[in-house]
Chains A and B, each alone.
Chain A
Amino acid sequence: MLRRIIPIAVIIVGFSVFPLVTNDNFFQNLTITILIFATFATAWNIAGGLTGLFSLGHGVMFAIGAYGAVLLSRDVGIPVLVAIPLSAVVASLVALLIGLMSLRLSGHYFALATLAFGAIGVVLLNNFADITGGDEGISIPFTPDPWGLVFQGKVPYLFLNLGVYVGTVLIFIALVRSKWGYRMRAIREDETTARSMGVSVLRTKLFAVSLSAFLSSIAGSMFAFYSLYITPENTASVSTSLEPALMSIIGGMGGVFGPLIGAILITLLQQQVITVIGAAVPGLANLIYGALLIVCILLIPKGLLGFLDQLRLSKRIAKKPAQPEEIPEPEKDLESV
């Protein structure tokens, strides 16, 4: 248990002390972005890392959170703090629906199906322009109101998103240790064996995608009220869908803190690409992600955290003295026919 509590304490203290040390807008912005996407990637990881459902359509869940919370509060008049969980429930239901259609597929086929649902999400957002603002998206007016989650400075956003991230991580940890967590990991490792051991595969997968969608939607809402500008491109697009997957792969899928490590690396990389290259070469950022992904899959297939874990394990094994193996005597009468 201590193994889990210490990193959480370090994260809370680290991210809390940070705004006190630096007043720099750039760094604060970077930290908030990391936390939002770490939440998103941790949520994705419930389906992708824990259950082995490699979704490439999570942008839709992120968009439901972003658009849902904004539209429900702006157009329907529901308080923001109610609109956010309400959108998350909608995202869960949508995930259940998509799940029922796609969860009988496995591996690449499931990934492709979710990619298609992601594309459908973008088309819907673009074409229901009366409600969603089409491809121009929605600008949320900057009128600071703590209950509307629009704040004057960046520090409240930082603590809000730190809270949401830590909450998501605690849910993830509780899940891993629960019977659902065991079922999910069993399915990820070997679906046939899981079924033979009485694990209800479809029910477990549906639970995984709906919980993952719920939390992804909350990350989407956080993104909307922080960036104050949402479009189909920055919420539902394929590149948004790819981000949590990429972050989890690079940081380490299946683990608790892999997505955070991935979110830190990818967000820093994004900023570097923008700062150094700017928009001079369009598409270059994607090229760099692609290259990074290939390098990671080839060199550290279990992600950065998985790699460190393996290093630790091999050191531990190296320390143990080798034990002579027992050599059984051959017995002819037990030979197989």
Chain B
Amino acid sequence: MNAILEARGVDLQRGGLKILSDLNISIEEHKVTGIIGPNGAGKTSLFNVLSGFMRLNGGDVLFEGNSIVGLTPETICQRGIARTFQKVRGYPSLSVRENVLVGAVNRLPRHEAATLVDELIDRMDLEELADQPAEILSVGNRKRLEVARVLATGAKVVLLDEVMGGLVPTEVRQMMTLIASLKQHGITVVLIEHHMNAVMGISDHIYVIERGRNLADGPPAEIASNEAVIAAYLGKEYTDAEV
């Protein structure tokens, strides 16, 4: 197994609350890894740790074999890990194109950045909106813009935090195709998602987190039939319905 990103025994504590305890995950290169778990399990906090927005209290995070603990979010992004946010962020008064350009122009010469951005906007199906301010975009378009922004940074690993939340079924399918295509572009994807069919459909490996701890991990089919996961998160209806 070729792990590009690893969390080893991560502890995260804020105030009197233990958010993550001895959490271990290992993200394989060029694969899609899903992270699921009930609300409040610590999924987004894990992303905050991996992207440098939260300092951990114990354990280690390794990217390409080197510890990235203590690095700032900007340095971690420059090294190759970029993320989206659960509550969509971005630059509301900048145009869609400019939103994407920020990440590209930060590291590439101007003309290369412009070419990359045009390509990304095209891939995300946002050409018609390219010159509109990002604030007027619908949820679906915003989520795709998030992905475009993340890709513009040239990241090797992208952490997608509920990019399918609030999307209508057609948009979910479009996003699934898009995420699957990232793998073909040599990008490693880590996905937090509550859309079970989506996450089961596109992930190569799934980690289940509950109360900040590892509950289970394995291929989607194995997770779907795991008794502990069904009890803690999926519920009986899901397994009865299909998979």
> In the complex, which residue of chain B has the Cβ closest to the Cβ of A200?
B74
What is the CA–CA distance of A326 and B140 in the complex, to the nearest angstrom?
A: 13
- In the complex, how many angstroms separate the beta carbon of A306 from the nearest chain B beta carbon? 9
Asked if residues A183 and B194 are in contact (CB atoms below 8 Å), the reply is no
Contact of A331 among B102, B152, B169 (CB under 8 A): B169
Question: Which residues in chain A, 300-337, are within 8 Å of chain B measured between CB atoms?
Answer: 326, 328-331, 333-334, 336-337
Asked if residues B91 and A334 are in contact (CB atoms below 8 Å), the reply is no
Residues of A contacting B105 with CB < 8 Å?
179, 182
- In the complex, how many angstroms separate the beta carbon of A324 from the nearest chain B beta carbon? 15
> In the complex, which residue of chain B has the Cβ closest to the Cβ of A186?
B102
| Known contacts A182-B98, A197-B153; A189 and B106 CB within 8 A of each other | no
- In the complex, how many angstroms separate the beta carbon of B169 from the nearest chain A beta carbon? 4
Asked if residues B78 and A198 are in contact (CB atoms below 8 Å), the reply is yes
Query: How many chain-B residues does the 8 Å CB contact rule pick out?
Result: 44
Tell me whether A193 is interfacial, beta carbon within 8 Å.
yes
Tell me whether A127 is interfacial, beta carbon within 8 Å.
no
Contact of A179 among B77, B106, B173 (CB under 8 A): B106
Q: What are the interface flags for A207-225 relative to B under an 8 Å C-beta threshold, 1 for contact and 0 otherwise?
A: 0000000000000000000
Question: Which residues in chain B, 30-78, are within 8 Å of chain A measured between CB atoms?
Answer: 51, 53, 72-74, 77-78
Of B3-11, B13-21, B82-90, B213-221, the one with at least 4 CB within 8 A of chain A: B82-90
| Known contacts A334-B198, A337-B196; A183 and B169 CB within 8 A of each other | no
Contact of B153 among A179, A198, A334 (CB under 8 A): A198
| Known contacts A190-B90, A195-B72; A182 and B101 CB within 8 A of each other | yes
> In the complex, which residue of chain A has the Cβ closest to the Cβ of B238?
A337
Asked if residues A337 and B77 are in contact (CB atoms below 8 Å), the reply is no
Asked if residues A196 and B106 are in contact (CB atoms below 8 Å), the reply is no
Asked if residues B198 and A182 are in contact (CB atoms below 8 Å), the reply is no
- In the complex, how many angstroms separate the beta carbon of B125 from the nearest chain A beta carbon? 13
Contact of B94 among A185, A197, A328, A330 (CB under 8 A): A185
Contact of A186 among B91, B150, B194 (CB under 8 A): B91
Tell me whether A194 is interfacial, beta carbon within 8 Å.
yes
Asked if residues B106 and A182 are in contact (CB atoms below 8 Å), the reply is yes
Residues of B contacting A195 with CB < 8 Å?
53, 72-74, 77
Residues of A contacting B238 with CB < 8 Å?
337
| Known contacts A186-B91, A198-B106; A337 and B194 CB within 8 A of each other | yes
Instruction: Give 12 CB contacts A-B under 8 Å.
Output: A179-B105, A185-B98, A189-B91, A190-B91, A195-B74, A197-B102, A197-B103, A328-B170, A333-B197, A334-B198, A336-B196, A337-B234
Tell me whether A140 is interfacial, beta carbon within 8 Å.
no
What is the CA–CA distance of A173 and B69 in the complex, to the nearest angstrom?
A: 39
Tell me whether A78 is interfacial, beta carbon within 8 Å.
no
What is the CA–CA distance of A186 and B91 in the complex, to the nearest angstrom?
A: 6
- In the complex, how many angstroms separate the beta carbon of B144 from the nearest chain A beta carbon? 15
> In the complex, which residue of chain A has the Cβ closest to the Cβ of B242?
A333
Residues of A contacting B101 with CB < 8 Å?
182
- In the complex, how many angstroms separate the beta carbon of B138 from the nearest chain A beta carbon? 10
Residues of A contacting B85 with CB < 8 Å?
192-193, 196
Tell me whether A199 is interfacial, beta carbon within 8 Å.
yes
What is the CA–CA distance of A198 and B52 in the complex, to the nearest angstrom?
A: 11
